[in-house]
Structure 1
Amino acid sequence: MENEQISILKMNGKHDVFDARKLRLSLKNSGATDDMINHVLSEVSAALYENISTEEIHKIAFSRLRQYKRSIAARYKLKKALLEMGPSGFPFEKIVEQTLIHQGYQTETDQILEGVCVKHEVDVIAQKDNRYLLVECKFHSEQSRQSDVKIPLYIQSRFHDIKQNWKKLNQHQNKIHEGWIFTNTRFSKDAIQYGNCMGIKLVDWDSPAQGSLKELIDQAGLHPITCLTSLSLNEKHKLLNENIVLCKELMNSRNILFKIDIHKQRHSNILSEAKQLCNL
């Protein structure tokens, strides 16, 4: 299987060669054991055909993992779970804020800040020691959508206007001001090149190599409730409408399951899966 030269269709419409090593790593990062991984790889291998979509490969792997352990399958579907939080960008902003809090930052959300020229709404302001981060969150509900160069171009002009104003204020003297942009999909090559050139920190699904969105969520146990395999999509949306975004929030508000009419007999399985995702 490791040497199969099968063409696969990616979400962006491009073709690539199936690489079992990438799937193996993804499964391992989800917490699967070597035995689980080998069985999943064997099942995927048997189902491969020319131009199979990455979505179909993911469905096969997810289905097999779910038979082993729901919490591992839930971690494996994190990318899709982030897409399912839409259409509002609020849940994604909450996840981004919580990743920063986990790193020791104090945060404020949805702030209106004065620039030299005009006022600007900033998704998250994060402060630690002498560092101030201005954070923009770009949420996409389709995996094929990238954040192109227009995003950092636009955000950079806003950050620059705010930072120029901050330079006039005593409390911001000798402070480090940084602009950050998070997205749940990926940035285009031009966006990354521009961000690097202008000193804007870009964080997407799997980059940078250290500190990608996936890594930040996994390390902090900040998985959204849309990861849970024990809930229907409709039940997940009901929880999101109650502002329950994270599994850890569900653990702290267990009675919300009664409010959205989930039978008591199911509660223990749902909460058990949520607890494992929270690294509790």
Structure 2
Amino acid sequence: MKHVTKADGGRQPFDPEKVQRTLRKMGVGAEDAERIAGEIAESVPDGVRTAAVLRMIRARAKAVHPAVSHRTNLRRALGLLRSKPDFEEFVRVLLREHGYQVETGCVLAGRCGEHEVDAVAEKDGTTVFVEVKHHVSHHRVTGLDEGRIARAIIEDLQEGFRSGRCVVAIDGALIVCNTKLSEHAKRYATCRGIGHIGWDYPEERNLRTMIEETQSYPITIVAGVSRSVSTRLAAAGVVTAKQIAYGDATTIAHDADIPLKEVLLIAGRARAILEA
């Protein structure tokens, strides 16, 4: 059995089905994905690094699905966003795509102090404050501290509401991060009833699936978008590929102070990704 070496040095069995799933997410058809996965499984040496496997996947995917050349890896794209305000705004847009009513710029008064939160979100009669955690490296793990802090804020805000200081009845907290969660963080959040959305947690409704269900890809999914360009776009309120693909290019170019020609180029690539 062949193994792959992960970025942290750990080893795990090579999984052709995982290769197929990656290819399908890139838009490759089922038949081609199965064939390519088999070819890669036969050609890779034992102990190959996962980064090398991903390069092989992308190279073969481009040959059968040219739109792949316009996009970067989703986890990497999320890491390329600035923590503040880009990723925070991206999370707010994503929550709205999933039916949340979202308010921003919120400072809530607890019984013992005031708390500036990244958003207040309401859905199905439940209101939560949102805390966003972003790591540049997607290999980082989000740990327990965020859950502990959120629990303390929940208690203070609920006590503040009962005493008349807080005008919003907060039912709980939702922590959203772009990385995986530690097992300790998962256990604590479950025990304390704190909502947590991580890269692959919960299994059925996590950050990756929420993005893919609505095609709410970050603007950095488009290959070739530099940090300076993504920063200017974010300042103009454009943080997703959909916003630039189907928005008014002239308005975006003006608001972001980016040449119209470059906006049109990015928009074309974004549409190729979304419509693949």
Instruction: List aligned pairs for 1:44-83, cutoff 5 A.
Output: 44-45=40-41, 47-72=43-68, 77-83=73-79
Per the alignment, do residues 90 and 60 of structure 1 end up closer, same or farther by CA in structure 2, a change over 3 Å counting? farther
1:254 is the counterpart of 2:252: no
1:23 to 19, 22, 25: 19
Are the equivalent residues in 2 in contact too, given 1:148–1:188 (CA < 8 A)?
Answer: yes
Note if 1:136 corresponds to 2:158.
no
Post-superposition offset of 1:241: 5.3
Provide the alpha-carbon RMSD of the alignment: 3.0
Residue 274 (1) aligns with residue 260 (2): no
Aligned mates of 1:89, 1:68 — CA distance in 2: 37
| C-alpha deviation, 1:7, in angstroms | 2.2
Find the aligned partners of 2:124 and 2:161 in 1 and give their Cα distance. 16
Query: Which segment is superposed worse, 188-197 or 202-211?
Result: 202-211
Residues 120 and 70 (structure 1), Cα distance of their counterparts in 2 relative to 1, 3 Å cut:
farther
- Shift of the alpha carbon at 1:237? 4.8
The one-letter code sitting in structure 2 at the alignment partner of 1:187 is L
Match for 2:203: what amino acid? A
Q: Deviation of residue 146 (structure 1)?
A: 0.6
Q: CA–CA distance in 2 between the matches of 1:51 and 1:240?
A: 40
Superposed displacement of residue 212, structure 1: 0.7
Q: How far 1:91 sits from its partner (Å)?
A: 1.8
Give a deviation string over 1:248-276, Cα, whole Å, max 9, x none: 22131413458434746x936x3233235
Task: Give the residue type in structure 2 aligned to 1:77.
Answer: N
Of 207, 215, 226, 2:220 maps to 226
For residue 205 of structure 1, give the secondary structure of its aligned residue in structure 2.
Answer: coil
SS of residue in 2 equivalent to 1:13 = coil
Q: Provide the secondary structure at the position in 2 that maps to 1:125.
A: strand
1:96 matched to which residue of 2? 91
- Greater CA deviation, 157-166 or 141-150? 157-166
1:56-93: CA deviations, max 9, x gaps?
2222212332343354566771111111113x332221
Structure 2 alignment gaps of length 5 or more: none
Q: What one-letter code is carried by the residue in structure 2 that aligns with 1:272?
A: G
Q: Secondary structure at the match of 2:151?
A: helix
Distance 2:131 2:189 in 1: 13
Alignment of 1:146-157 (within 5 A): 146-157=141-152
The one-letter amino acid of 2:11's match is: H
Mapped contact 1:7–1:18 kept (Cα < 8 A): yes
- Give the TM-score taking structure 2 as reference length: 0.85
Q: Which residue of the partner structure matches residue 164 of structure 1?
A: 159
Count of matched residue positions in the alignment of Structure 1 and Structure 2: 272
Q: 2: CA distance between counterparts of 1:36 and 1:229?
A: 23
| Residues 3, 46 of structure 2: 8 Å contact kept | yes
Q: Distance in 1 between matches of 2:65 and 2:258?
A: 25
Mapped contact 2:129–2:170 kept (Cα < 8 A): no
Please say which of residues 58-67 and 210-219 is displaced more in the overlay: 58-67
Matching residue's letter, 2:222: L
Counterpart of 2:107 in structure 1 is 112
* TM-score, with length taken from structure 1: 0.84
Q: Distance in 2 between matches of 1:200 and 1:54?
A: 33
The residue identity in structure 2 corresponding to 1:260 is I
- Most deviating of 40-49 and 183-192: 40-49
2:191 corresponds to 1:194: no
The 3 A distance-change label for structure 1 pair 154 and 29 is same
Output aligned runs, 1:200-219, within 5 Å. 200-219=194-213
Quote the Cα distance in structure 2 between the aligned partners of 1:227 and 1:116.
Answer: 42
Secondary structure at the aligned position of 2:118 is classed as: strand
Deviations 1:136-166 (A, max 9, x none): 1100000111111122112221222112212
Cα pair 1:26 1:76 within 8 Å, conserved: no
SS at match of 1:209: coil
